[in-house]
Every structure is written in C-alpha cells, then in structure tokens.
Amino acid sequence: MAMAALTASAALLFCSCDPAFAAGSGGRMGGSAFSSSSSSSSPSSGFQDSGSSFPLGRGADSSSLQQQRSQGARSLSSPAARSSGGHHLSVTGRSALAPAYMTPLGGGGGGFGLTSLLFWGVFAFIMVKAAQGVLGGGGGSRALREGDDPVSVAKLQVALLGSARGLQRDLERIASRADTSGPTGLHFILQETVLALLRNPDYAVYGYGKSGREDSPDAAENRFNALSLEERRKFEAETLVNVGGRKRQSSLNRQSSGPNELIVVTILAAVAAPLKLPRVTSREELLEALSKLGGVRSEDVLAVEVLWTPEEEGDTFTQEDLFTDYPQLNNL
C-alpha cells in the first residue's frame, strides 16, 4: 500500500511539472495595427499596476491555485444549480426592445432589477463609445499618428462552464467574419467577444484581469507579443486561426470519452488610451472589466487577440487542466 501511494504521488508530481499541453485545441483571432516605423521605445514602465506585474510563465502565480485546492474543487454544475445569494445574473427570454443579437438579463416578471440596470448601462456605454469611434475615427490609430502617448495593455481571462457551447459557436462565427487586417476589424473582434461573454454571465466561474501602461508603442508591442506567446504555448494546436488577415483551420482529431467541463477565453488588447481593469474576483468586477473593454474606441485600438480552448468539437478541458495552465484565475 505504501509503495502504491508513493508511486501515485510521484506520477502526480511528474504530471504537474511536465510542460506538456494541458489544453488541446485552441482558437485564435486578432492582429496588430502597431506601426513598424514607430519611434524607438523609451524605457519600459515595467508594466506595473497596483504594485504587481503580469505573471509570465506557467505557474508564475500559484497563490490562487493553492487557495482553489485548499477549498476543494468547485462544483461544475449547471448555472441554475450554482445559484446562491447576492446579485445573480440570469438569462431570461428575449426582449422585444433588445437588438436581435442581445439577450436581456435580470429576473422574470418584466421588472428591472439591479442586474438589469447594470447590464443595460454597460450596453449603452459600449454603444456610445462605438458611436464616438465611428464619428471621430479616420486616419488610423491615434498612437500611430502621435507616436509618443503611453499605451495600455490589458489581459482578461474568463473560464466558463463547458455547457456554454453557444459561446464557442459565437467565437467561431466572429473568427469567420472578422477582417483582421486593420483596426476596424480588430475593434469588431473586441466588441463582439465582449458581447458574447455578456450573453453568458451565468456560466462564468473563474476570472482574471490585469492591465498596465507602457511608455511607447514599441514597448507596448513587445509586451503584447510576449503575452500572446505565453497564451499560445498552452495549446497543443491552434485549430482555428484568423490573425493579421490570414486564415487557416486544422484538426487534432481528438475525441474524449468524458464531457467538457470548462471553456477558457482570453482577451488581449493594446490601446492608445487609459485602460485599467479590475482583478476580477467577482461577477460584478467581470462586468466592469467587460464594460471597459467594450468601451474602447475604434481609433484607439492598436492590437487585439482573442484566444479560447477547447476549440475543436469533441475536445475537452477539465478543471485539473485549468489548475495547470491558468493558476492565477480567481473564483467568481
């Protein structure tokens, strides 16, 4: 018995340390509008924000992971079974007043609760910002014209229950339609992804947000590229890609016998405007982060990437995979 326990412990240790892919298939869409002829970067700000910086590398921030394991694995049940006290975001029938692609939130009975007011406030804010970007746009991104403004770089990650299959279809639809060769298409990806996540609030179980400023577009581009590579290395294969105007699709032909437990979506954005995201430790903070990303104007977009896993039908992503690849995520 002791020998068997020792063998199992050694195997678990080996699996935890092995950098092999936890995530199988991954989707990726977006691109960069950074100018290749921008001025040389000034000294970086170190990407500091609220006393800390982006964790780079697998397991760089394991405090949340330890807390998750000490509390036990979170029950991955349906959204209705997970409902408890506090402000609960629920999805009701489609409102006749809402646009065709939106689903109103809030309780039944036709009343407007706090959640409904928050949601429609976020929606109105995004629409106003979008209108400002259209009316004031033209001539390319502001940072590419001025060249010396500080640039914000942000990362938002959300893990949702695997039953949110509609979200995967939404992301595939966005990837198939987006023109990723310029800022307008990148802004489309950012806003459509934000709206897709807003339509699935009850499925969100983990989250993480981080942002900071770099002193020049060059420094911001380097930071953005580093964050992109850090996320991409978690996938065994990128089975759906639409980046920089180039599209490709492949298959892992991986079939799992078990159900998919989680879907993880990562949004990376570099913008020529102040942008500070919360840490995302609650659904209220997730809504705040989505509101800020959705409010970015088209003319301020310098780079956007959206990555998600699993992407391929039949592929799965488990809670143990989450602990391996995304230890910094917080319980919502």
Q: Tell me the pLDDT band of 120, cut-offs 50, 70 and 90.
A: low
Is 315 or 91 the better-scoring residue by pLDDT? 315
Q: Has residue 190 been placed in a domain?
A: yes
The dihedral over CA atoms of 179, 185, 191, 193, expressed in degrees to the nearest 10, equals 30
Least confident of 66-75, 200-209, 259-268, 299-308: 66-75
**Structural domain contains residue 79:** no
Torsion sign, CA atoms 201, 203, 206, 212: negative
> DSSP string spanning 1-52?
-HHHHHHHHHHHHHHHH--S-SEEEEEEEEEE---TTPPPPPPP-TT-BTTB
- Coil, strand or helix: which one is 123? helix
Cβ–Cβ < 8 Å for 155, 328: no
Instruction: Please report the pLDDT score of residue 219 as a whole number.
Output: 94
Task: Let me know if residue 173 belongs to a domain.
Answer: yes
Residue 43 inside a domain? The answer is no
Q: What is the mean pLDDT of the chain?
A: 75
Q: How many CB atoms lie within 10 A of CB 318?
A: 18
| Residue range 53-76: mean pLDDT, rounded | 46
Is-contact 329 157, C-beta < 8 A? Answer: yes
pLDDT at 168: 93
- Does residue 79 have a pLDDT over 80? no
pLDDT of residue 313: 85
- Does 261 map to a domain? yes
Question: Which position has the higher pLDDT, 50 or 164?
Answer: 164
Of all residues in the chain, the percent with pLDDT exceeding 70 is 57
In a domain, 286, yes or no: yes
Q: Taking 50 as the threshold, does the pLDDT of residue 53 lie above it?
A: no
Q: Can you tell me the distance from the alpha carbon of 8 to that of 10, in angstroms, rounded to the nearest whole number?
A: 5
Per-residue pLDDT, 4: 42
The residue behind tokens 């996320």 is 231
226-283 pLDDT per residue, tens: 999 999 999 999 999 999 999 999 988 766 667 889 999 999 999 999 999 999 999 9
Q: Look at the chain and report how many structural domains it folds into.
A: 1
pLDDT at 150: 83
With a cut of 50, say whether residue 29 has pLDDT above it.
yes
Question: Domain limits at 154?
Answer: 23-34+60-71+105-331
Instruction: Give the confidence band of 76 by pLDDT, cuts at 50, 70, 90.
Output: low
pLDDT higher than threshold 90 for residue 330: yes
* Residue 66 reports pLDDT greater than 60: no
Of 107-116, 166-175, 281-290, the least confident = 107-116
Residue 310 has pLDDT above 80, yes or no: yes
pLDDT band for position 160 (cuts 50, 70, 90):
very high
Residue 109 lies in a domain: yes
pLDDT beyond 90 at 15: no
Residue 81: inside a domain, yes or no? no
DSSP 137-172: --SS-HHHHH--S-EEEEEEEEEEETT-HHHHHHHH
The predicted model gives 180-188 an average pLDDT of 95
CA distance readout (Å), 305 to 45, 183, 265, 276: 22, 12, 11, 18
Mean pLDDT of 172-178: 97
Closest CA to 194 of 213, 209, 212: 209
Q: Which residues of 153-176 are buried (b: 16+ CB within 10 A; e: fewer)?
A: bbbbbbbbbbbbeebbebbbebbe
List, in sequence order, every residue forming a beta bridge with 59; answer none if it has no partner: none
Q: Taking residues 25-29, report their average pLDDT.
A: 96
